[in-house]
Amino acid sequence: MHPARKQRLILVSLVVVLSSAAIGLVAFALRDNINLFYPPADVVAGKAPTDRSIRLGGMVVAGSIERSNSELDTIFWVTDYEASVPVRYSGILPDLFAEGEGVVAEGTLDESGMLIATQVLAKHDENYMPPEVAAALEGKTAPAEQPVLP
């Protein structure tokens, strides 16, 4: 290879490697800010700020949803299978919100450790299947197939 081209090739490779390393380090340093939500274990451990709005993400505990009879208020527990946090939300929940499914709730923590949510989003998983397949799976291996958060 021509020496001038070889030098340019090395220079181009260096640009790619060094800029990737720089941006990688920045992303690594900012990892707490890039995470969209706190898992319940971090909230219970006191790692989440209590003076401002945070997002909490996890699975809705099966059997924990309590709906008010007269208002839109809903109370449910969110878990990452290590710890659980109660959430209170007054508003319309997304269609995919259900027990045992993923959820991301935004709001502030009160003194008792309950999240007073201003927005609740459903976090669905990567599984897609026809209803018949889901029904067949439900009959056989439903309890074993509990999704676990990353």
Would you tell me which residues interact with other proteins (CB under 8 A)? 5, 8-9, 11-12, 15-16, 19-20, 23-24, 27, 31, 34-39, 57, 93-97, 104, 119-135, 150
For residue 14, the one-letter residue type is L
> Burial, 75: exposed, middle or buried (Cβ in 10 Å; 0-12, 13-18, 19+)?
middle
List C-alpha distances in Å: 61 to 9, 77, 82, 103: 55, 5, 12, 10
Residue 8 or 67: which CB sits closer to other proteins?
A: 8
Pick 17 or 66: Cβ nearer other proteins:
17
Q: How far is the CB of 7 from other proteins (least distance, A)?
A: 9
Tokens of 49: 């700020």
What's the min distance (Å) between Cβ of 111 and other proteins? 26
Q: How far is the CB of 31 from other proteins (least distance, A)?
A: 7
Copy the structure tokens of residue 29.
Answer: 């340093």
